[in-house]
Amino acid sequence: MLSGHKPYNADTPMAVAVKHVTDPVPNILSMVPSLPIEVDGVIKLSMAKNRDQRYSTALEMAKALNLVAFGREGNTKPVTGGATLLQQKTAAQPSRSKTGFTMVGAVLLVVIVGVFLLRNQLFASPQATPTLEVVPTTTTVKTPTEEATLTAVPATATIDPASLLAPACSAEIGIPTPIVRETNKACVMKIPYTSVSIPEGAAFESINPSLKCAIETTSDGKSIVACTGRQLYSYDLKVCVPPVVANEDLNKCSADSVFLSANQCCAPIPADGAGCTIFKVDLRACQ
């Protein structure tokens, strides 16, 4: 009501709910610096995460608002005028009805004080001095002949989420396949070994459990993987380099696409096997 904005914003309702529980209460003065400093204290106290740290009653909050708006707590005693007739009408009703009237009265009191706070702090000229006015007990209704004055309320600008996304990748841009090369063949104690070079950080697995592979060294962005198995056999080694998306790029694409950092664009989520290649490992004969 004071800033025209919600306290928390997120992409999903669940994320908003999490922020209500975990995020600190926003500083109202950063959005409306013309408000008194005490207003920020009232808001943070009334929105405290721990309910034991909030105002215990609506009356306490009304007093605090009065103190900020007018410099004193004001007359917050219950109004007794006309209460006799109300008590006679509600004497036979359940006690929860009395509680309901009390709750409504407290809410109305907070609303009235809030209206005074808004009028004096947000819409008054800088030279105006807040004054306490007596609210009349009767309501003046304008006749149909009186001209109604309409105040135009500026529409809140909305941002299309699609405008914040990165552009789509062109058709020829896709998930690149890793480059795998054979670097050496050797026999160690009559056991055949074949070494292959794969990109650093790439995942690899043998299609056949008889082929055993392990990383020997890593340098200059490449890893050397040594594989061994039965002599004169060929095995398939699967090497994959899935796209890695940095935290700051997580929201740059829609849910059905992935961000390619190298190309700064969004590509469709790759099918199984995208970013992977099958390399044939041939083991020599060792006598």
| pLDDT tens readout for residues 126-171 | 444 445 555 555 555 455 544 545 555 555 555 555 556 778 887 7
**Under a CB-based contact definition with an 8 Å cutoff, are residues 65 and 42 in contact?**
yes
Computed from CA positions of residues 42, 120, 141, 143, in that sequence, does the dihedral angle turn out positive or negative?
A: negative
pLDDT at 280 (0 to 100): 94
- Comparing CA positions, the residue from 199, 211, 205 lying closest to residue 282 is 211
Side-chain half-sphere exposure of 218, counting CA atoms within 13 A: 8
Q: What is the pTM of this model?
A: 0.37
Mean pLDDT of all residues belonging to the chain: 76
**The pairing of beta strand 276-282 with beta strand 265-268:** unpaired
pLDDT at 92 (0 to 100): 47
pLDDT at 196 (0 to 100): 95
SS in 3 state form for 171-209?
CCCCCCCCCCEEEEEEEECCEEEEEEEEECCCEEEECCC
Dmax of the chain from CA atoms? 113
pLDDT at 22 (0 to 100): 86
- Residue 283's pLDDT band, with cuts at 50, 70 and 90, is very high
Q: Is residue 108 predicted with pLDDT exceeding 80?
A: no
- Residue 138's alpha-carbon distances to 6, 112, 134, 135, 143, in angstroms, are 35, 15, 12, 9, 16
pLDDT at 206 (0 to 100): 92
pLDDT tens-digit profile of 71-88? 888 776 655 554 444 455
Q: Please give the Cα distance from 61 to 83 (Å, whole number).
A: 24
Q: Is residue 41 predicted with pLDDT exceeding 60?
A: yes
pLDDT at 166 (0 to 100): 77
**Under a CB-based contact definition with an 8 Å cutoff, are residues 240 and 178 in contact?**
yes
Q: Is residue 9 predicted with pLDDT exceeding 50?
A: yes
pLDDT top residue among 257 and 113:
257
